[in-house]
Chain A
Amino acid sequence: MENLNLILPEIFISLSIMFLLILGVFKNDSSKITFNLSLFAILITAIITINETFSVSRETLFNESVVIDHMSSLMKIITLIGGFLVLVISSTYLKTFKIFNIEYPVLILSSILGMMVMISSNDLIIFYMGLELQSLALYVLATYNRDQIKSSEAGLKYFVLSALSSGLLLYGCSLIYGFSGSTNFDIISNQLNSKEYVLTFGIVFILVGLAFKISAVPFHMWAPDVYEGSPTTVTLFFTIVPKIAALTVFIRFLYVPFLNLIDQWQMIIVFLSIASMIFGAVAAIGQTNIKRLIAYSSISHIGYTLAGLATVSNEGIQSSIIYISIYVVMNLALFSSLLMLRRKDQYYEDIDDLSGLSKNHPLLSLCLLLILFSLAGIPPLAGFFAKFYVFKAVLEQSMYFLAIVGLLSTVIAAFYYLRIIKIMYFDEEKDKYDTEHSLWLKFSLTVSTILILVYFIFPSQLIEVVSRINII
């Protein structure tokens, strides 16, 4: 008998989804209660995850097709916390657009379930199942504001391009299966050797598919449009939660089945990383819409995370995970402040709308100032440490070119972050925004900003948790 306790979080969250759907069918006007119950469900799932799996160093289930280890439990917890916070700060926004329906929390829960399956997968089929579950939910979420053309366009674009990338991914999987005779990662790892050149195609296809999911250059084209068109809370969800799952899968693919083929993929990752860092930084300069700008900035942040993966060392993997955790906090803070730019029932998302914000809203703009400097990687804020660990790992492997290009692109990136700060602090003020916000929004902004600010006092804690992750 398998130890089902280990997948209790997944079981619980699937049961909650079904229950919420049934509740939605039988109860009229159930949007509010579904919303609260789903928050509750995520919270409980997180608690179960911590309780059941946090201390497990490595266990496998179902013929080794599902793996529970330190990485999977940590990433699941980050996913759940991220999902919870996204959901909790969305309510005002959804109500404003009159799309506060039961589908929203249910879709978020299902995509979280998909991500949890992905994170734990140790088998191509399980992995693909999780990927599709989360993607399907995300397509619908992107079009969620269905009365707006932009939102529908975003969803359609995302669907078409994502389906293409899933196709490539699947083709890659089938090639790998053809060469190794198994879909299990561990078995593949033993069967593969670098002599078979066609195998490289399989790896490349899989990497392309995954690079698309995390929007690394040159597979990033969908990101700016989708981020801009989707409802802001969904954009927030896109920028943080799926990236965590996709990064985990990236790590697992590279370091479990393909570990023996480092020569084949290391250059690809280095290229993806450099291209994302530079392109993300350069392309963001000309943007006028904050959401598009965030899309490009998230592309360049993904570049830094990939730089950690390119090192082929445990330190590198750990630094990438630290980077993504800090990035999640920073993005959450950034979007929380973006959601505060509201006047009556109108949300503002152009950079010019921030003009002179510091005069009318000194606290909000101070928070944004810290967030933006942190995103730019200026010490002593958390964003600096994220980059610092990555480059520490990169330089350990003497990859000087990657480190220098990465750091120079932070200078370019600093330019557009500074531009926002300039608009907030140096330009003439506009009308006041509403100061009434939901408690949760204020909470998430305050907590994440304080975390960014005081991270430098306690940097060891995060490292301690992450340092248990040893993949190689």
Chain B
Amino acid sequence: MNFPILSSLILLPTIGAIFLFFIKEKDGNNTTIKYVALFTTVVNFLISMYLWIAFDQSSSSFQFIEDRIWIEGFINYKVGVDGISILFIILTTFITPLCIISVNNSVKNRLRDFLIAILIMESFMIGVFCALDLVVFYLFFEAGLIPMFLIIGIWGGARRVYSAFKFFLYTLLGSVLMLVAIISIYWITGTTDVVQLYEIGIDVKYQNLLWLAFFSSFAVKTPMWPVHTWLPDAHVEAPTAGSVLLAAILLKMAGYGFIRFSLGLFPVASEVFTPLIYTLSVVAIIFTSLIALMQEDMKKLIAYSSVAHMGFVTLGIFTLQQQGIEGSIIQMISHGLVSAALFLTVGVVYDRMHSRLITTYGGLVSVIPKYSILFMLFALASLGLPGTSGFIGEFLILMGAFKDNFLVAVIASIGVILGAAYMLWLYKRVVFGKLINEDLKKILDLNRSEYFILSCLAAPILFFGFYPDPLINTIEVSVTDLINMHNTNIASK
């Protein structure tokens, strides 16, 4: 494979952004700008689909590897994918075009700058999932802060400045310790190449501290309780497209990081700290579900539900069982689709009514039925109804958890019930009941582009709910290999 397919995936959105930079923004008519952005991201999606087709599912080693000298004798620019990362790349390239279509309604001013920010963001996110060198990973991981800060700060809601700062500083604070750890790894082992590090392994006496440094970064990004407080703020204030990117993809960077780096590089420390992760995950699941129950603001409710769902993900990863990890990955993909869809559904009514408060709504089913049906589908997917992708993930995670720790699994199962409670209650209050608010009578149902976006999201949710094999086949060999590697490492030390 000589064609640098991964680099072109990373670079293409940036090239699109540079191209956009030179198109002049006209008042009122921005179709050219939008089509350029859309075209770029759709091409990127097609390339990533090709990547999936060309990907050899029977091999657990990294594929499409590109390895170039970047800083002489120190860092190589190395990218590659295995079964785990390829799904996240596809998720990214799938969600971004939908975001771009959705800006039609939500972003009014400085559309060109917004699209540039989104495209640059896409480049960085794909980079995170491809990177096979710790420094390259860190570079992409941190660089994503810049566009996201601007997206929240420029196009956000009333408290956007506070939220943007909180988002930026929290994440930066978490990440700097990871940088210390990465450089330390270089001095301990002499390389930052992930593939080599998997082979060499890191001395046990360093693992605990290094694990904690990585954890500090990923815990903030996931976000895990108690450092999750930036997420509701950021979500609520970000424009719809920003919330979608944040929930669907940015949060997954941390989950991916846990699997790729925490498990892969520090097997012994991962065993040591499993109780910590279990505790934090279970607290997150129960605690944030309860908080979500009490929310008045729809976006905030969904944001807290994200924290709870990510609690399931971290729980699943550290069960260190085949089912648990596979479940976590599927849960992440599914949550990427479902939370994106939920934020978009909230965005739809917000664009019309300019209110995110649950009390504004009620009785929507009688005026906008199409909307109500799709909203129901997404709410059910979020609570993990069988037949939706949400079920597969949660089920596998709980199965893994029962194998490993009965008590944790039981408590987490209670979280599933709470999840159903807040989602259904939200749905009931927004969609059913009497139509009290007079303004709602004039509300319009989904227009064509909204209908298109939401259907695009509904299709894979249902498809993978009934037939998850394509996902599981892709990740299976890689996960098995990861667990085998983990077990041999533990056994030898």
* Binary interface encoding of chain A residues 437-472 relative to chain B, with 1 for a CB under 8 A from any of its CBs, else 0: 000000000000000000010011001100000000
Q: Verify A422–B180 contact, CB threshold 8 A.
A: no
Which listed segment binds B: A131-139, A174-182, A404-412? A404-412
* Binary interface encoding of chain B residues 138-171 relative to chain A, with 1 for a CB under 8 A from any of its CBs, else 0: 1100110110011001100000110011001100
Residues of B within 8 A of A460 (CB): 69-72
Interface status of A24 (Cβ within 8 A of chain B): no
Q: Verify B180–A407 contact, CB threshold 8 A.
A: yes
Q: Verify B164–A407 contact, CB threshold 8 A.
A: no
Report the separation of the CA atoms of residues A415 and B138 in the bound assembly, to the nearest whole angstrom.
20
Q: Verify A379–B142 contact, CB threshold 8 A.
A: yes
Q: Verify A380–B139 contact, CB threshold 8 A.
A: yes
Which listed segment binds A: B182-190, B342-350, B366-374? B182-190
Report the separation of the CA atoms of residues A160 and B70 in the bound assembly, to the nearest whole angstrom.
49
Q: Verify A410–B176 contact, CB threshold 8 A.
A: yes
**Which residue of chain A has its CB nearest to the CB of B170?**
A411
* Binary interface encoding of chain A residues 14-49 relative to chain B, with 1 for a CB under 8 A from any of its CBs, else 0: 000000000000000000000000000000000000
**Which residue of chain B has its CB nearest to the CB of A456?**
B139
Which listed segment binds B: A202-210, A218-226, A389-397? A389-397
Report the separation of the CA atoms of residues A421 and B150 in the bound assembly, to the nearest whole angstrom.
9
- Given A392-B183, A426-B153, A426-B161, A411 contacting B172 (CB threshold 8 A): yes
* Binary interface encoding of chain A residues 361-397 relative to chain B, with 1 for a CB under 8 A from any of its CBs, else 0: 0100000000001000011100010001001100110
Residues of A within 8 A of B411 (CB): none
* Chain B nearest Cβ from A22, distance in angstroms: 50
Residues of A within 8 A of B357 (CB): none
Residues of B within 8 A of A411 (CB): 169, 172-173, 176
Q: Verify B145–A378 contact, CB threshold 8 A.
A: yes
Residues of B within 8 A of A407 (CB): 176-177, 179-180
Residues of A within 8 A of B165 (CB): 415, 418, 422
Q: Verify B150–A425 contact, CB threshold 8 A.
A: yes
Residues of A within 8 A of B183 (CB): 388, 391-392, 395, 403
- Given A391-B183, A395-B180, A422-B161, A463 contacting B153 (CB threshold 8 A): no
* Chain B nearest Cβ from A361, distance in angstroms: 13
Q: Verify B160–A404 contact, CB threshold 8 A.
A: no
Question: What is the interface of chain B mostly: helix, strand, loop, or mixed?
Answer: helix
The residue from A380, A388, A395, A463 contacting B187, defined by CB atoms under 8 A apart: A395
Interface status of A188 (Cβ within 8 A of chain B): no
Interface status of A201 (Cβ within 8 A of chain B): no
- Given A373-B146, A391-B179, A414 contacting B139 (CB threshold 8 A): no
**Which residue of chain B has its CB nearest to the CB of A394?**
B183
**Which residue of chain A has its CB nearest to the CB of B112?**
A362
Residues of B within 8 A of A395 (CB): 180, 183-184, 187
Report the separation of the CA atoms of residues A422 and B142 in the bound assembly, to the nearest whole angstrom.
19
Q: Verify A463–B71 contact, CB threshold 8 A.
A: yes
- Given A395-B184, A404-B180, A425 contacting B153 (CB threshold 8 A): yes
A395, A415, A421 pick with most chain B CB within 10 angstroms? A395
Q: Verify B164–A414 contact, CB threshold 8 A.
A: no
* Chain A nearest Cβ from B21, distance in angstroms: 9
Report the separation of the CA atoms of residues A407 and B172 in the bound assembly, to the nearest whole angstrom.
10
Report the separation of the CA atoms of residues A426 and B143 in the bound assembly, to the nearest whole angstrom.
20
Report the separation of the CA atoms of residues A408 and B150 in the bound assembly, to the nearest whole angstrom.
22
* Chain A nearest Cβ from B114, distance in angstroms: 12
Question: What is the interface of chain A mostly: helix, strand, loop, or mixed?
Answer: helix
* Chain B nearest Cβ from A219, distance in angstroms: 27
* Chain B nearest Cβ from A149, distance in angstroms: 36
- Given A379-B138, A395-B187, A411-B172, A425 contacting B154 (CB threshold 8 A): yes
Report the separation of the CA atoms of residues A422 and B164 in the bound assembly, to the nearest whole angstrom.
9
* Chain B nearest Cβ from A463, distance in angstroms: 7
Q: Verify A392–B180 contact, CB threshold 8 A.
A: no
Q: Verify B143–A380 contact, CB threshold 8 A.
A: yes
Q: Verify A414–B177 contact, CB threshold 8 A.
A: no
Residues of A within 8 A of B160 (CB): 426
The residue from A379, A391, A426 contacting B180, defined by CB atoms under 8 A apart: A391
* Binary interface encoding of chain B residues 81-103 relative to chain A, with 1 for a CB under 8 A from any of its CBs, else 0: 00000000000000000000000
Interface status of A97 (Cβ within 8 A of chain B): no
Q: Verify A418–B149 contact, CB threshold 8 A.
A: yes
**Which residue of chain A has its CB nearest to the CB of B142?**
A379
Q: Verify A400–B180 contact, CB threshold 8 A.
A: yes
Report the separation of the CA atoms of residues A418 and B152 in the bound assembly, to the nearest whole angstrom.
13
Q: Verify A396–B145 contact, CB threshold 8 A.
A: no
Q: Verify B143–A379 contact, CB threshold 8 A.
A: yes
Report the separation of the CA atoms of residues A422 and B139 in the bound assembly, to the nearest whole angstrom.
23
**Which residue of chain B has its CB nearest to the CB of A363?**
B21
**Which residue of chain B has its CB nearest to the CB of A404?**
B180
Residues of A within 8 A of B113 (CB): 362
Residues of B within 8 A of A464 (CB): 72
**Which residue of chain B has its CB nearest to the CB of A409?**
B176
Residues of A within 8 A of B71 (CB): 459-460, 463
Residues of B within 8 A of A459 (CB): 70-71
Report the separation of the CA atoms of residues A403 and B165 in the bound assembly, to the nearest whole angstrom.
24
Q: Verify A422–B153 contact, CB threshold 8 A.
A: yes
* Binary interface encoding of chain A residues 110-126 relative to chain B, with 1 for a CB under 8 A from any of its CBs, else 0: 00000000000000000
Residues of A within 8 A of B150 (CB): 425
* Binary interface encoding of chain B residues 169-210 relative to chain A, with 1 for a CB under 8 A from any of its CBs, else 0: 100110011011001101100000000000000000000000
Q: Enumerate B304-361 residues with CB–CB distance to A below 8 Å.
A: none
Report the separation of the CA atoms of residues A410 and B175 in the bound assembly, to the nearest whole angstrom.
11
* Chain A nearest Cβ from B126, distance in angstroms: 14
- Given A378-B145, A418-B168, A464-B72, A426 contacting B179 (CB threshold 8 A): no
* Chain A nearest Cβ from B76, distance in angstroms: 12
**Which residue of chain B has its CB nearest to the CB of A457?**
B70
* Chain A nearest Cβ from B384, distance in angstroms: 37
Residues of B within 8 A of A398 (CB): 187
* Chain B nearest Cβ from A316, distance in angstroms: 13
Residues of B within 8 A of A378 (CB): 142-143, 145-146, 172
* Chain A nearest Cβ from B110, distance in angstroms: 8
**Which residue of chain A has its CB nearest to the CB of B181?**
A395
Q: Verify B154–A408 contact, CB threshold 8 A.
A: no
**Which residue of chain B has its CB nearest to the CB of A467?**
B72
Residues of B within 8 A of A425 (CB): 150, 153-154
* Chain A nearest Cβ from B53, distance in angstroms: 31
Residues of B within 8 A of A414 (CB): 168-169, 172
Report the separation of the CA atoms of residues A429 and B379 in the bound assembly, to the nearest whole angstrom.
42
Report the separation of the CA atoms of residues A415 and B162 in the bound assembly, to the nearest whole angstrom.
12
**Which residue of chain B has its CB nearest to the CB of A387?**
B179
* Chain B nearest Cβ from A470, distance in angstroms: 16
Residues of B within 8 A of A463 (CB): 71-72
6 A-B pairs whose Cβ atoms sit less than 8 Å apart in the complex: A388-B135, A403-B180, A407-B180, A425-B150, A425-B153, A456-B139
**B contact residues vs A (CB 8 Å cutoff):** 69-72, 113, 135, 138-139, 142-143, 145-146, 149-150, 153-154, 160-161, 164-165, 168-169, 172-173, 176-177, 179-180, 183-184, 186-187
7 interchain residue pairs of minimum CB distance: A407-B176, A379-B139, A395-B183, A411-B173, A379-B142, A460-B72, A426-B153
Given contacts A426-B154, A426-B160, 15 further A-B contacts (CB under 8 A): A378-B146, A380-B139, A388-B135, A392-B186, A395-B184, A398-B187, A410-B176, A414-B168, A418-B149, A425-B150, A426-B161, A426-B164, A460-B72, A463-B71, A463-B72
